[in-house]
Amino acid sequence: MGSNDGTGSIEPPAVLVRAFLADLLKAALTSNDQHSQTWRREAAALRAKILGLDATALEPLKMDGLWWLAIGDAETPELRPEEGQIEWGQPKICPFTRAAITAADFDIDRAVQHLRETAATG
């Protein structure tokens, strides 16, 4: 079961998690602080939707697959001019588990910092 996006349509859990991961990546990549804050707010809103899901809805998700799709979503040509914070070279496996992103102490800012620290620098 997915989350209602306010328009009456249901967003599947995989779509929410993929978008959440992509927003974290976008926040980590951009060297524009204002844009980074926008991506962080969007990630926080998506996480709230994820937390509203039944926990069993997240169990079948393949985090590494969603991670690779999220990298593709974040690596769009229109965002390239802003990508000054880190160079691409993200880990091949998702740095966040389902349990981590749903944990009460998950912190968006720490997650973005973690992505910046674990990325290969150019």
Integer Cα distance of 111 and 69 in angstroms: 18
Is residue 10 left, alpha or beta, with left meaning phi > 0 and alpha meaning psi from -120 to 50? beta
Contact predicate 43/23, CB 8 Å: yes
AA identity, residue 33: D
Residue 29 has pLDDT above 90, yes or no: no
pLDDT of residue 98: 94
- Please state the domain extents for the chain: 3-118
pLDDT tens by residue, 4-25: 545 555 789 999 999 999 999 9
CA pair distance 23, 42, nearest whole angstrom? 7
Q: Is 8 left (phi over 0), alpha (psi -120 to 50) or beta?
A: left
Architecture in CATH for domain 3-118 = Up-down Bundle (1.20)
User: In 3-state terms, the chain is what percent helix, strand and coil (to 5)?
Assistant: 60, 5, 35
Whether residue 53 contacts residue 69, with contact meaning beta carbons closer than 8 Å, is answered with no
pLDDT tens-digit map of 72-88 = 888 776 665 555 545 55
Query: What rounded mean pLDDT belongs to the chain?
Result: 84
Least confident of 37-51, 62-76, 87-101: 87-101
The pLDDT of residue 90 is: 66
Percent of the chain with pLDDT over 70: 77
